[in-house]
Amino acid sequence: MSLPMVVPDPGLPSHVTVYEVGPRDGLQNEGTVIPLEVKVELVTRLVEAGLPVVEVTSFVHPKWVPQLADAEELLDRVDHTGAVPMPVLVPNERGLDRALAKGVRHIAIFGSATETFARRNLNRSLDEQFAMFEPTVARALAEGMDVRAYVSMCFGDPWEGAVPIEQVVSVGRRLLDMGAYQLSLGDTTGVGTTGHVTALLDAFNAAGVTDDRLAMHFHDTYGQALANAYAALRHGVVTFDASAGGLGGCPYAESATGNLATEDLVWMLDGLGVQTGVDLRALVRTSQWLAGHLGRPSPSRVVNALG
């Protein structure tokens, strides 16, 4: 299996954290329910491949995301209190109760930068979502949990169109001010471009949020995810969400296709001499194995090229 030639760029960060979302965001939109055994092996393989963080599941009500109805069973089968953090998405206090019952130490909340998506995804208005998150975050912090915050529709909304940068910054600041240690900025429908990425990051910096508190979550709907990741990397961002094999999407946004493939991201970072700790060969084998269980080829360019 070939690997990229390494040509270091001294102007880039020396190390990047790849925040693997495949078992949660990657699988949540699959129409066919994936067996628990496959999910357990997927998490195990990702950890063995060196992914430093693996988001494993969600405590969203099974009615809304049937694929993740086995969240408790999965947590019983993986080492979610071990050295590799295994965050769980928690939408509200009911979800937090489930997380606490399982001894989960790392959670994520999922907000929206737009009114329409907040109503579709959370059944709350843009402002009402914060009232839902506040007690959840406060209790989680009191229990010693780490809380990460996602913001969706940061670059465009299929119902509202372009999203004002200042609106995204306002939502993000409110979530950080609640106590989230990190804010993941989501290009949920993949419409962002490199200039837009830079402008959004500049605006967060101007509002007092440094790049080290931000993560980027790109979708590849228009083929821009990797270019956007490079723009954010050059800006100074050092955490990137990605999904093994490029799986995923959002069940509440039809135009949200696959996430940035972890393999494609790691190939680029390896070539730039940016350390991730990820074994690309093992990761590719994992996505090839998963593609066999899903019954279709991986959308990842690197997985296909090395397969």
Question: Dihedral of CA 193/196/202/207: which sign?
Answer: negative
The single residue of 250, 260, 284, 306 carrying the catalytic annotation is 250
Element (H, E) at 150: strand 146-152
Buried b (16+ CB within 10 A) or exposed e, 78-87: bebeeebbbb
Cα 262–21–65 angle (5° rounding)? 135
250 is catalytic: yes
Question: Residues near 178 by Cβ (< 8 Å), separated by ≥ 6?
Answer: 130, 133, 134, 137, 138, 147, 149
Partnered with residue 144 across adjacent β-strands are: none
3-class DSSP state of 99: helix
- Return the structure tokens found at 285: 């084998």
Q: What are the C-alpha distances in Å from 145 to residues 53, 103, 106? A: 15, 10, 6
As a whole number of angstroms, the distance between CA 145 and CA 256 comes to 30
Q: Which one, of 214, 116, 205, lies nearest residue 156 by Cα?
A: 116
Question: Residues near 281 by Cβ (< 8 Å), separated by ≥ 6?
Answer: 1, 3
Rounded (10°) CA dihedral 113, 119, 125, 127? -30
Full DSSP string of 156-207: -BTTTBS--HHHHHHHHHHHHHHT-SEEEEEETTS---HHHHHHHHHHHHHT
As a whole number of angstroms, the distance between CA 166 and CA 206 comes to 11
Active site residues: 250
